[in-house]
Structure 1
Amino acid sequence: MSATGPLVVVGDALLDVDLVGTASRLTPDAPVPVVEDVEARERPGGAALAAVIAARATRREVVLVTPMADDEDADRLRALLAGRVRLVEIPATGGTAVKRRVRVGDHSVARIDSGAPVAGLGTLPAEAAAVVRDAAAVLVADYGRGTTADRAVRAVLAEAGGPVVWDPHPRGADPVPNARLVTPNGAEAARVASAAGTAAGVAAQGEGLAAVGARAEALIRHWGVGAVSVTLGARGALLSYGEGAPMVVPAVPVTGGDPCGAGDSFAAAAAIALADGAVTGEAVAAAVAFAGRFVARGGASAWDVEAAPEPSPAAEPGADGVIARVRAAGGTVVATGGCFDLLHPGHVATLRAARGLGDCLVVCINSDDSVRRLKGSSRPLVTAADRARVLEALEFVDAVVVFDEDTPAEVIGRLRPDVWAKGGDYAGADLPEAAVLRRWGGQAVVLPYLDGHSTTALVERSRV
């Protein structure tokens, strides 16, 4: 493994085309919509999409090793990849695989596939073998077109220099035994475990975690790989090493978005994390979070849209996205702030009351440096990242933002809430935050505070 080597993606590159239009009527001869004013939007698909996603998420060079035909569709795919990833082509027979989705707004109504499967790849080019051997990590994006079944490809993958993440396909080949992590979705895991039969151990029935865990264990025995992470969509992912209790990583709920490409984004993020030295569990946790953000930003449809800077881990899920959704629906945005060092009943009562004033609650918390300046060198007792995680676990908190200033004035100005709620005995006083809110017609309010509870008092009592 080369710590400074590239991230290499091996697999079947496709050309994806979205035919996006409008529909306001059905055809007279069948109950299907008439799609009009169609606009064609092309993008990389399959392994090519996984490579582009990875390239946008890492500073490493990303190399795509894939069969490429000699036709106009392949030329268009090459143009889409140019400047984004380094392309190492494997000579291919058969036409370029093209998937066309007919979409009305954000909804797909049909998919049309064309292109013959790749066959007879022949000898693997020396450049392809070299980049796989020198890779920091290898992502195999199998789309069932024959690449991963080729003997030359499998021989090179068996000698990969870095950890191998294998994203399987129902029509694809089995992962190579040296794969560190295999990432089937729930349906794929159930299908393969069932087809493997007694050779893999009969997987449990149903969709509960026990059944998913049993299938993952069966697949590890069947494939002889290091670990299997079954992706479960909005439920997150389950990671099994084949024995012991599995690890389950819940997903942050996502409203709207496009799930197309979510599996590619998960596998790409896991491979990046392993390339950077993460252990498998850390890689899966990072992949779940990344895939959620990918879907929320528009999924594969937004593959070439510049993403906003990734939020701090202490500030997930993103406040900007929460606020945008509430405002789009005509709702009221409420925000509040404080140190929230050692969450206690007084905090909980104030936060619950604040959430009742609107349609979302964003909590702005002082950074560790800010708390030290305000409270002294012995504080905070809990880091900002951990304070944020505790707050996000409350059902009435929709997002958390960490600010480094001594007052929340700057973060209030950025978020522009409709209501700023402050807990404590401030009734009748002119709150300093009120002047900031007046700029856009916002309102500062005071909420009753549960008397007898404060972090300072808790700390003093603990010293007695």
Structure 2
Amino acid sequence: MSDGPLVVIGDALLDVDVEGDAARLSPDAPVPVVAVSAERARPGGAGLAALLAARDGAGVVLITALGDDADGHRLCGLLSQELDLVGLALRGGTVRKTRVRSGGQTLVRLDTGDGRAARCAPTPRAAEAIAAAGAVLVSDYGRGVAGMARELLRDTDVPVVWDPHPLGERPVPGCALLTPSEAEARAWCRSGYHGPDQAARHLVRELRAGAVAVTTGERGAALAVGDGAPTRVPSPLRARGRDTCGAGDRLAGAVALALLAGAGVEEAVTTGVAEASRFVERGGAASVRVREQRLGDRPRTALEVAGLTRALGGRLIATGGCFDLLHAGHVSLLRRARALGDALVVCVNSDDSVRRLKGPARPVVDVHDRVEVLRALGCVDAVAVFDEDTPAAVIEQLRPDVWVKGGDYEGEALPESEVLGRIGAEIVVLSTLPGRSTSNLIREIR
């Protein structure tokens, strides 16, 4: 059993179910009229596999390409609360699959988005995640993410489960297990398909894998391990007529978690088949509920903004101060700080912290009001309050790319310099507007 997390690598999609009642036909065409009662979104593809694994209690890191569009932001918000995201660049629009459903049946599916992972070297964060993995699941949906990780996976010594796609990457040699569906196995067997048992045995040799499990729906899976004869892993349930959407993702994730826990391949596949069967019996992907968090939602915590920004490959800016009696100098500094990146978090001294730094007569404005005023600024994405004399602890939590200070600190050693150096954050000093300060305002008021 490894202490490392399960790292899922693959193409995350946005799945949306539009549910309603289809009790009548349209008067202008012989098609059902769906009276929409609900719309539910969830991650699809590698995102679903990672989410379900995380809900099993495992530490999960998902490496995927995320689009900087409305659907990409929505997908990011669905994932970021339950697992760690490592975002890669996506070219094109986020792939979205919208199913119109009634009475538990899908009437039509609408696919939009042409996004593919941008062709570039994996990011350092992706490399670090794979190096620390206890097991790896590659959930390939043919959108390019799996190809970016091939070189990094060649040297890994942890179990790799590869869920292939006919339009995707050829699995790296040495995978512990491949989990194609019967249709996918048929597509991979270019020399001819002769049933799932022979396909599993053929693909072990052809793709140089430790084992292959060809999934066959309610019949379970055909498993070939090494040079041994294929065996059948039956499903414990017969969920005939049920919605099987997401069953393959559930099986692959459960198998990977079993291998991470130290199970052998046959035991892991048996576990995966059982979990996938139960998943289908409970309603499949349509039964998955995820609380949505969107980048435009307010209020947002500083840690949420930091995580979402990193997941989208953005540049996080942070700054700190008392911000007592907010004035034009503060606003100028914050606007220019926000222009340096993709999100700005303001770290604010608590009332006790201000008193220790400024004396018993400060702050003039209590922390609740200071936070509310800062949050109302369009250039501020989130506010974090800290009670210490320096923002070092909150900086370590947020891990910003850039820390901004006002020009009055130029040339001075910052008390937070040590933590900024440790996390590799850049320090930017911005000039302040002359004559604008809280102390001057207080003097004038008095």
TM-score range, shorter chain: 0.5 to 0.7
Q: For residue 191 of structure 1, report the CA deviation from its aligned partner.
A: 1.8
Aligned to 2:92: 94
AA partner of residue 218 (structure 1): H
Alignment of 1:250 onto 2:248: no
Alignment of 1:158 onto 2:143: no
AA partner of residue 217 (structure 2): G
Q: For residue 161 of structure 1, report the CA deviation from its aligned partner.
A: 3.9
4+ long deviations beyond 3 Å: 28-31, 254-257
Alignment of 1:225 onto 2:209: yes
Residue 116 of structure 1 aligns to a residue in which SS? Answer: coil
Q: Write out aligned runs for 1:116-135 (5 A).
A: 116-135=114-133
Residue 25 of structure 1 aligns to a residue in which SS? Answer: strand
**Take 1:120 and 1:73, find their aligned partners in 2: how far apart are those partners?**
17
Aligned to 2:44: 45
Q: Write out aligned runs for 1:12-411 (5 A).
A: 12-57=11-56, 59-150=57-148, 153-193=149-189, 196-197=190-191, 202-204=192-194, 211-255=195-239, 257-304=242-289
**Take 1:157 and 1:104, find their aligned partners in 2: how far apart are those partners?**
42
Residue 184 of structure 2 aligns to a residue in which SS? Answer: helix
CA contact (8 A) 2:67 2:115 kept: no
**Take 2:232 and 2:22, find their aligned partners in 1: how far apart are those partners?**
41
AA partner of residue 170 (structure 1): P
AA partner of residue 43 (structure 1): R
CA contact (8 A) 2:42 2:290 kept: no
CA contact (8 A) 1:203 1:218 kept: no
Q: Which moved more, 1:114-123 or 1:5-14?
A: 114-123
Aligned to 2:441: none
Residue 187 of structure 2 aligns to a residue in which SS? Answer: helix
**Take 1:159 and 1:88, find their aligned partners in 2: how far apart are those partners?**
20
CA contact (8 A) 1:140 1:164 kept: yes
Q: For residue 159 of structure 1, report the CA deviation from its aligned partner.
A: 2.5
Q: Which moved more, 1:101-110 or 1:263-272?
A: 101-110
- Between 1 and 2, higher relative CO (CA 8 Å, sep ≥ 6) is seen in 2
Residue 51 of structure 1 aligns to a residue in which SS? Answer: helix
AA partner of residue 215 (structure 2): T
Residue 65 of structure 2 aligns to a residue in which SS? Answer: strand
CA contact (8 A) 1:136 1:161 kept: no
Alignment TM-score, normalising by the size of structure 2: 0.62
CA contact (8 A) 2:64 2:86 kept: yes
1:249-268 CA-to-partner distances (Å, cap 9, x unmatched) read 11122446531110000000
Residue 74 of structure 1 aligns to a residue in which SS? Answer: helix
AA partner of residue 234 (structure 1): E
**Take 2:188 and 2:66, find their aligned partners in 1: how far apart are those partners?**
28
AA partner of residue 198 (structure 2): A
1:369-411 CA-to-partner distances (Å, cap 9, x unmatched) read xxxxxxxxxxxxxxxxxxxxxxxxxxxxxxxxxxxxxxxxxxx
**Take 1:239 and 1:31, find their aligned partners in 2: how far apart are those partners?**
45
Against the structure 1 CA distance between its residues 242 and 203, is the aligned structure 2 distance closer, same or farther, given a 3 Å change threshold?
farther
**Take 2:231 and 2:7, find their aligned partners in 1: how far apart are those partners?**
27
CA contact (8 A) 1:99 1:114 kept: yes
1:399-452 CA-to-partner distances (Å, cap 9, x unmatched) read xxxxxxxxxxxxxxxxxxxxxxxxxxxxxxxxxxxxxxxxxxxxxxxxxxxxxx
Paired residues, number: 290
CA contact (8 A) 2:100 2:107 kept: yes
1:57-87 CA-to-partner distances (Å, cap 9, x unmatched) read 1x33100000111111111111111220100
Residue 145 of structure 1 aligns to a residue in which SS? Answer: coil
Against the structure 1 CA distance between its residues 35 and 3, is the aligned structure 2 distance closer, same or farther, given a 3 Å change threshold?
same
Alignment TM-score, normalising by the size of structure 1: 0.60
**Take 1:294 and 1:36, find their aligned partners in 2: how far apart are those partners?**
28
Unaligned runs of 5+ in 2: 292-446
Residue 91 of structure 2 aligns to a residue in which SS? Answer: coil
CA contact (8 A) 2:237 2:278 kept: no
CA contact (8 A) 1:265 1:287 kept: yes
**Take 1:18 and 1:268, find their aligned partners in 2: how far apart are those partners?**
22
AA partner of residue 177 (structure 1): P
**Take 1:219 and 1:10, find their aligned partners in 2: how far apart are those partners?**
21
Against the structure 1 CA distance between its residues 85 and 281, is the aligned structure 2 distance closer, same or farther, given a 3 Å change threshold?
same
**Take 2:137 and 2:267, find their aligned partners in 1: how far apart are those partners?**
17
CA contact (8 A) 2:65 2:117 kept: no
1:293-336 CA-to-partner distances (Å, cap 9, x unmatched) read 11122211222389xxxxxxxxxxxxxxxxxxxxxxxxxxxxxx
Against the structure 1 CA distance between its residues 53 and 154, is the aligned structure 2 distance closer, same or farther, given a 3 Å change threshold?
same
Unaligned runs of 5+ in 1: 205-210, 307-464
